[in-house]
Structure 1
Amino acid sequence: MYARLKPLLFQLDAEQAHHLTMTACAVAGHVPALPTLLGALTRPVAGQLSQNLWGLPFASPIGLAAGLDKNAEAVGVFSNLGFGFLEVGTVTPRPQTGNKQPRLFRLPSDEALINRMGFNNLGLEMLERRLRGRHAVPIWANIGKNKDTLNEQAADDYRAAVRVLYGVTDGFVINVSSPNTPGLRALQHASELHTLVSAVLDMAEEQRLKTLKPKLPILVKLSPDLDERDFEASVDAVARAGASGLILSNTTLSREGLNHSSKSESGGLSGKPLTRRSTELVKQAYRQTGGTLPIVGVGGVFTAEDAYAKIRAGASLVEVYTALIYEGPALPSRLNAGLLELLRRDGLTHISEAVGVDA
């Protein structure tokens, strides 16, 4: 079905197609029994792929990256497509419209996207309402600061997100690496990052005691554009502050090797051009931390081999976004099946045995 729909969707402006698809998924998620039926058809059941991390069950290491379902409007469908977890957001305390359109561009010849969305979202209150209730898979909230919040007050925005969402989510991702909010990436610098993560963790502990929920994982998402020394310092700051893990990586400002005419558009690049760089960062962080800090690999995962390379580099989990646009909703199931084949090929009995073997 997607093979037939894709040419029609790709005739539309990229953001129009996105909103049309999200609306359709949101409607489908409210059709009685449809999400359950989807889950029965796609939910991974192979024990070789299941893991328990931070006290949470992951039936598959494949998750949906932040940015696609910013406002948790389609979690009913996405949580029943074969994913092991979802990341919604980025959400900011107050709603904001984001940057001026057009701000999302397809680069089909490069199997990539460029976006300069600018954290457009409906705010914490809306996300909190939509995340209430039970979900088929763990759901993390990717949190950021409002555009008009000064970096000196940024911790207040992140703490607000934890305060509002702690009771309805299964974890948080601190986003300090989007290139589309002015000044945001400065928060990745080691001293600022350590202070920010510590403040978020303090708020999380307050909410844990207040809600009596288990301790939730707090991960940090870093940029692929940090040089080696700054990346090492940022990873060290995350570890020293006591964060639960890393997500590597966000979109890049690099345009190396691109062919499409839209390559000159400003914004963050995602998709195939990021595959190698993000895998290298996973391996570097795994080596630096000695495998003690769980890593989520994201960037250019189109095939099971792409996902497996990130796992062998040190990622316990892997996320997709751009590939879903190009490959369609059957992608998670295809990746799960491919990972099982790769495990059998290598004589491994469980996905955890592959984590970090190439690092």
Structure 2
Amino acid sequence: MYRMLFALVLRRFDAETVHHLTVRAFAVLSTLPLVKRWLYKALAPQDPALRVSAFGVHFPGPLGLAAGFDKDAACAEGVAAVGFGHVEVGTITAHGQPGNPRPRLFREVSQRAVINRMGFNNYGAAAAARRLRRTRGLPVVVGVNIGKTKVVPESEAAADYVTSAKILAPLADYLVVNVSSPNTPGLRNLQAVELLRPLLKSVKDVADATPRRTPLLVKIAPDLADEDVDAVADLAIELGLDGIIATNTTIRHGGQAGGLSGRPLKARSLEVLRRLRARVGDRLTLVSVGGVEDVDDVWERLLAGATLVQGYTGWVYGGPLWASRIHRQLSRRLRRHGHKSVTEVIGKTA
């Protein structure tokens, strides 16, 4: 039914308009206690074999929603109710900003892909914090992804990230430093180790000082050269980070400006994951995102060393029950292969 709805109706509307309407719908769902609890019981991962622990946080299932959908922490509970094991909100900047001019979100249906040049449009860290302070009616794991405010110069980037971290780290189950979006000028320059080291160290000092020490991860681009992937991995070990999220969108698509996500990113995302696993082993939690479409992709990422897997574009094309369906299929596959827990699969073939 969803494929028919998408083909006949949704794809005919502006992608960003559909995105905003969907966020509002899930935000409304988040305010309906009985409905969201019923959906959570029916759709969220309930099989104990799917449970995963990473950096001291317990996840009901390995598949979560990547940053980019819930930019302002408006609907995490609604999203969790339809089957995601965690929700990463953001990217959130210290100061609110409108993002890039519209149109800025485009479907590439033939490739099952999306191009976006949103530019971190959000209402800012203080507004997101007000939402994150609300009591959660569901046991949803919420990660917070932070980025650089566009008008802040590169020389002041670390202080800008620290501002966001001070506001948001105490409210997050984990914190992510995003230096890999292609849609904020100069942002990807911060992936260079000489710039990244002081930035991550400053944010880590903030995360470590929260009452329960907020785990800190860094999100990298698929377009990094292999030696730069190694350098970031080494830096993460050196600084004592909790993990790496690989990967963000790619600019190597030959199309219009913006980052490409979805099926075309699959091979490179998996390649980066395998390289990271070979470099860091199990010393860091690896979160794989990029081109995840079905249970086969999730299974492959787990085997390659990912503890957690994320998707977003796959959800766009797979429909609202996409995550719930994959978790059910993963549960059956585990038993078919004789595994009692998803943790038995992680890193079995790199």
Answer yes or no: same fold by TM over 0.5: yes
Is it true that 1:9 corresponds to 2:10 in the alignment? yes
Work out whether residues 64 and 86 of structure 2, in 8 Å CA contact, stay in contact via their aligned partners in 1: yes
Secondary structure, aligned partner of 1:10: helix
**C-alpha displacement at 1:32, in angstroms?**
4.0
Cα drift, residue 334 of structure 1: 1.1
For 2:161 and 2:246, the matched residues in 1 are separated by 20
Contact 1:191-1:237 within 8 A present in 2 as well: no
1:119-268 counterparts in 2 under 5 A? 119-132=120-133, 133-134=135-136, 135-206=138-209, 208=210, 212=211, 214-255=212-253, 264-268=255-259
Question: 1:155-175 deviations in whole A, cap 9, x for unaligned?
Answer: 111111111112322110100
Counterpart of 1:169, as a letter, is A
Alpha-carbon shift at residue 317 of structure 1 (Å): 0.3
Equivalences, count = 347
1:66 aligns with 2:64: no
Q: Which runs of 5+ in 1 are unaligned?
A: 256-262
**Partner-residue secondary structure (3-state), 2:81:** coil
Q: Distance in 2 between matches of 1:4 and 1:225?
A: 35
Structure 1 residue 311: deviation in Å? Answer: 0.8
3-state SS of paired residue (2:299) = helix
Q: Share of identical aligned residues, percent?
A: 42
Cα distance in structure 2, aligned partners of 1:327 and 1:110:
13
Preserved contact between residue 86 and residue 139 of structure 1 (Cα < 8 Å): yes
User: Hey, what's the Cα distance between the residues in 2 that align with 1:292 and 1:169?
Assistant: 22
| Amino acid aligned to 1:227 | A
Q: CA deviation at 1:4?
A: 5.0
Query: Secondary structure at 1:33's aligned position in 2?
Result: helix
Inter-partner Cα distance in structure 1 for 2:33 and 2:343: 36
Residues 324-352 of structure 1 show CA distances to partners (whole Å, capped at 9, x for unaligned) of 11111111111112212332333322111
What SS does the corresponding residue of 1:319 show, helix, strand or coil? strand
Please tell me the root mean square deviation across aligned C-alpha atoms, in Å. Answer: 1.3
CA separation in 1, counterparts of 2:155 and 2:38? 48
Q: Distance in 1 between matches of 2:208 and 2:221?
A: 27
Q: Which residue of 1 aligns with 2:279?
A: 288
Return the offset for 1:88: 0.1
Deviation, 1:44, is 1.1
SS at match of 1:113: strand
CA distance in 2 between partners of 1:43 and 1:100 (Å): 36
Mapped partners of 2:227, 2:185: distance in 1: 23
Describe the SS at the equivalent of 1:174. Answer: strand
Aligned-partner SS, 1:79: helix
Alpha-carbon distance in structure 2 between the residues aligned to 1:193 and 1:265: 28
1:84-119 per-position Cα deviation (integer Å, ceiling 9, x unaligned):
111000000111001111110000100000000000
**Consecutive aligned runs of 4 or more in structure 1 exceeding 4 Å deviation:** none
**One-letter amino acid matched to 2:207:** A
The TM-score normalised by the length of structure 1 is: 0.94
Distance 1:115 1:240 in 2: 33
- Give the CA deviation at 1:80: 1.1
Shifted more, 15-24 versus 244-253: the winner is 15-24
Q: Return the alpha-carbon distance in structure 1 between the equivalents of residues 222 and 169 of structure 2.
A: 28
Deviations 1:112-138, CA, capped at 9 Å, x for gaps: 000000000010111001111224211
The CA distance in 1 between the partners of 2:279 and 2:247, in whole Å, is 16
Q: TM-score, normalised by structure 2?
A: 0.96
Matches within 5 A, 1:102-117: 102-117=103-118
In structure 2, what is the equivalent of residue 306 of structure 1?
297
Amino acid at match of 2:196: L
Residue 273 of structure 1 and its aligned partner are, at CA, apart by 0.7
Indicate yes or no: 2:342 matched with 1:354.
no
Please say if residues 80 and 136 of structure 1, whose CA atoms lie closer than 8 Å, have aligned partners that are also in contact: no
Q: CA deviation at 1:3?
A: 4.0
Paired letter, 1:83: F
Mapped contact 1:62–1:318 kept (Cα < 8 A): yes
d(CA) in 2 for partners of 1:30 and 1:345? 38
Query: Is 1:332 matched with 2:323?
Result: yes
Query: Is 1:343 equivalent to 2:334 in the alignment?
Result: yes
2:274 aligned with 1:274, yes or no?
Answer: no
